[in-house]
Amino acid sequence: MSKIYITRKITDTAIKALKKAGHKVSMYPHSDRQIPRKELLKNIKGCDAVLTLLTEKVDAEFFKAAGKQLKVVANYAVGFDNIDLKAAKQYDVKIGNTPCEEVNEAVSEASMTMMLALATQIVNADAFTKAGKYKTWDPMIFTGPSLVGKTLGIIGAGRIGGGLAHRAKEGFGIKIVYNNPQRNPEFEKMYGAKFMTKEQLLKVSDFVSLHVPLLASTRHLISTKEFKLMKKTAYLINTARGPVVDEKALILALKRNQIAGAALDVYENEPALDADPSDNISLRDKDIINKLIMTPHTASATIEAREKMAQIASGNIINALKGKKMISEVV
């Protein structure tokens, strides 16, 4: 019997699978808060496996606290920028993640929803109506652009970017342009997409949606220079990773009306909603708040995606403890 710790309350699917495999499972009992670092390091001591979230920093200190018997860390996420892969190799710990079509579909759907919400101003209109401000039909309020015939710039032509391109093109007749480290002929053929440099894409797009991993090369991929290139009527959507966008530059771009608005599901200093909480500059500034849609990192929050992620994460642990290849192995 192996000892397994889960760092946040998640769907019962993972717990049941791990217990059925004969393992002893314990878990931080809350889903709405991050486990304190001190408590995390104490609770993983002596564990053979740990199921983590993106909120947990998995580094040398983590591996040392767990002990030499630790064999696997299964990240309940597609991304793994919270994990020090060099340290994992040094401590000989296997790392798994949870990529799946269910997550791809969920994030594609969320990105499309954000495009629609930005264009229709449905969030502002909802708040206006609930506040009792609707007194008479007004033809001049909450007007926005039609999606039909517009240009969507997708940065990152992977499965999620492809899912968004499909929805945008087939559902609304939107023109697709894209940027990617390498040209993707299949992406171009399937969605009638045109490859462009990032600069070209920013100049022509009515909507720009980001679908790249967080790497040294993608940190602040969108910053002051990029906002200056965008149309004043354009919108930015980020369902990828917070630090891909320079939040201070975004705030200034919105204040200066360099772009029309943005939708964010991720933040530079998550869970803080501002890159530097000590600054006076904030995403919640009254001058820009109506130009923003903000959600709490829930782009992949479908029942199907969460269940599949739990199946993969628990399967990664079960396989690794048996000495077998994980379902999805990072290192």
- Catalytically active residues are 241, 270, 297
Please name the residues in contact with 166: beta carbons below 8 A apart, sequence gap of 6 or more: 108, 190, 191
For the record, the structure tokens of 96 come out as 């798994």
Q: What is the dihedral of CA 91, 93, 98, 99, to 10 degrees?
A: 70
Beta bridge partners of 52: 75
3-state secondary structure 298-314: CCCCCHHHHHHHHHHHH
Using CA atoms, how far apart are residues 199 and 188, in angstroms rounded to an integer? 19
> Is the N-terminal amide bond of 36 cis, ω within 30° of 0?
no
Query: CA 56: distance to chain centroid?
Result: 15
Most distant CA pair in the chain: distance in Å? 69
- 106 contacts 299 by C-beta, under 8 angstroms: yes
- Look-up: residue for tokens 């100049």? 203
β-pairing verdict for 235-238 and 175-179: unpaired
Rounded Cα distance, 215 and 269, in Å: 15
